Amino acid sequence: MPGEGEAIAQYAEKNMRIPRRGEVGWQGEEIERLESLGYVMSGNRHKRMNAIRIRKENQVYTALEKKALALIQLEENKQKEATLLANFRQALEKRKEKEGEGENVDEV
């Protein structure tokens, strides 16, 4: 359904239990308490529903991991670029210093 992925992603980001069909509107703690009392929530009975829930959770976690990895790679690339630019600047400064010394010798 539209918006389902975003809703699941919000649960995953908050490290909360993703609700199954029939559990929407219940808090995770309430669901766990009911299950510990012996109640079987609607999503628990069906292997197919559990498989779908697990697949969707994995998709969300994979997307979150990809996003985090992309941010890490972006930061690493920025650091590499900054190091490379610093090395180029040092090389240019050394070259200017050498050229500056050479000009002074020629002028005298």
Query: Which sequence spans correspond to the domains of the chain?
Result: 4-107
Per-residue model confidence (pLDDT) at position 108: 45
Continuous segment of H or E residues that includes residue 84 = helix 47-107
91 pLDDT tier (thresholds 50, 70, 90):
very high
pLDDT at 92 over 60: yes
pLDDT digits (tens, 9 = 90+) for 20-65: 656 666 777 787 788 788 877 665 566 676 777 778 777 777 777 8
- Which two tokens mark 5? 């992925």
What sign does the CA torsion over 39, 42, 43, 47 have?
positive
7 pLDDT tier (thresholds 50, 70, 90):
confident
What is the model's pTM? 0.40
When pLDDT is averaged across residues 87-106 and rounded to a whole number, the result is 81
What sign does the CA torsion over 82, 85, 87, 90 have?
negative
